[in-house]
Amino acid sequence: MPVSEDVPLTAFALELKHALSAIGPVLLLTSDNIKQRLGSAALDSIHEYRLSSWLGQQEDIHRIVLYQADSSLTPWTQRCIRQADCILIVGLGEQEPGVGELERMLESTAVRAQKQLVLLHREEGPAPARTVEWLNMRGWCSGHLHLCCPRRVFSRRSLPRLVEMYERLFQRPPDRHSDFSRLARVLTGNAIALVLGGGGARGCAQVGIIRALAECGIPVDMVGGTSIGAFMGALYAEERSYSQIRIRAKQWTEDMTSMMKTMLDLTYPITSMFSGAGFNSSICSVFKDRQIEDLWIPYFTITTDISASAMRVHTDGSLWRYVRASMSLSGYMPPLCDPKDGHLLMDGGYINNLPADVARSMGAKVVIAIDVGSRDETDLTNYGDALSGWWLLWKRWNPLATKVKVLNMAEIQTRLAYVCCVRQLEEVRNSDYCEYLRPPIDSYGTLDFGKFAEICEVGYQHGRTVFDIWRRSGVLEKMLQDRQGTSKMKAFNVLTCPSASFTDLAEIVSRIEPTKVAVVDEESDYLTECEEGLPDGPQEAYADFQSSPADGGSDSEEEPSLHHQHPSVAPPKPSVDAAPPWFSGQDGQRPPSDAP
């Protein structure tokens, strides 16, 4: 559904059809091709039953059906809204935020379908901005996506030339890394999420793994992270280019190793050792005033709300503030006051250091989780029921004494803080939706930001090795497959008319032909030889076959439609008078041999 008439809706629908074709059979329906296939009167209210029946059959035999609405409120637009599981509101990101006439109608009606805002951007245009204004005008939207469109989407071709161009494009497989392919995976529940865990300087390895991801051809449709993972994930969601991610991450790590800036930020340690002003400045210099809503890829970050003793998931608002909040280690940085409600936010690692479960709850089919957290020492000394500090001091100072491994107070407090996180991490590692990675970075410390290049290379080499194993073992292929699987697609075996497909027959039955004036020959009261062969009883179901030839084209060659199977719209049960006997229930099985 377009926001305005300036939206290239036909090109958008064809582009989306191409992307969806990698997932399953797609059908694109417009008011024009409905009239061509079913007759010029097919959209009249008197033929509601036939149109509903035919559309129901298309949703049964296609994985996705895209309904392209008209630019105004026509009977076809109303039909599209009723049929849809998800309604895409398509606008131009370069235009001033506004609400279209169709949207006002949509808002005033009780439509239960999910509604998503899609903003189109030119390849050579600026980055997304002012998205929050678009969303504030549409409180009923459940989400949004930014699409960087190829130039052909905005080309000023006539409709026949546009269709001809896309017919040639359909001969090539779609680019799995394009934004339209991301939209296709999100709409069909096949999204792939990248989740980056916290771990200080060890998070530099995530930059190398991102490079390996790109080289291996693994697309990413959602990014989330905690602590340093929130920072690296935000860079990835904003840049989408490994080279730029590396440059910006390296510049920030150089700031983190500046002793002068660190000393200037020291304060009297009532709440924390540092005031946070210097750290705020370093984060803000990276992300400027960017909002989370303006990122190319859907993004979230995790913080610990110590005011409400709860986990917070941030999917909107000031990017640098929530990244900073997710990196606020207790004792080092003061909590950040949430600008929305004033709650105190701390490092998300205290409650969920690898939020793969959050990505799963947000619709991801597969989650690639990269863990860079520290591993606790478990080989500790058993000192009995009591412990003397003087004894420990003697053990440390005496070079001849046997060394003991005993936690100090700070280490005990840290382990207590991460107890909940450790349990959650084990659940994630054992889940069937998560692909867990941990590069060999245990030898690096939390503050080893000066070793950026070295840690990054470790992550890259580990990522290459793991992804190559995935490729050879079929993990990548499974990751990119449709979640419903081809085994669930309906197969129709029509024996009555072997030369026509099921779709051909459904279209023939549903076709509405213009009314013809009957010419009666009064001189003949005899039936022709052909008429004598027709069975007794109502002839309506056969009249359509006599008057309209079958369409030679198959549905797989028709235009696609943005709608997966509609669970609430079942094709009407056929009657003897209205449809031939192969019209069965939604399960696609033929009736018993004794069925009428």
Question: What's the token pair of residue 187?
Answer: 């709409």
Strand partners, 347: 303
CA distance 577 to 596: 10
CA distance 547 to 308: 71
Neighbours of 123 (CB within 10 A): 10
228, 420 contact by CB (below 8 A):
no
Catalytic residue (one of 70, 338, 347, 371) = 347
- Sheet architecture: strand order including 114-122: 86-92, 114-122, 143-149
Helix (H, G, I), strand (E, B) or coil at 364: strand
Looking up tokens 């939604």 gives 586
Helix (H, G, I), strand (E, B) or coil at 352: coil
* Closest of 233, 245, 301 to residue 452, by C-alpha: 245
* Closest of 93, 98, 169, 109 to residue 137, by C-alpha: 98
Helix (H, G, I), strand (E, B) or coil at 337: strand
Active site residue 341: no
CA distance 538 to 472: 61
Catalytic residue (one of 178, 227, 326, 561) = 227
Active site residue 227: yes
343, 305 contact by CB (below 8 A):
yes
Helix (H, G, I), strand (E, B) or coil at 163: helix
CA torsion angle 526 531 532 535 (round to 10): -140
CA distance 492 to 587: 10
- φ, ψ of residue 544 to 5 degrees: the values are -65, -35
SS3 of the chain: helix, strand, coil, percent, to 5: 40, 15, 45
Known catalytic residues are: 227, 347
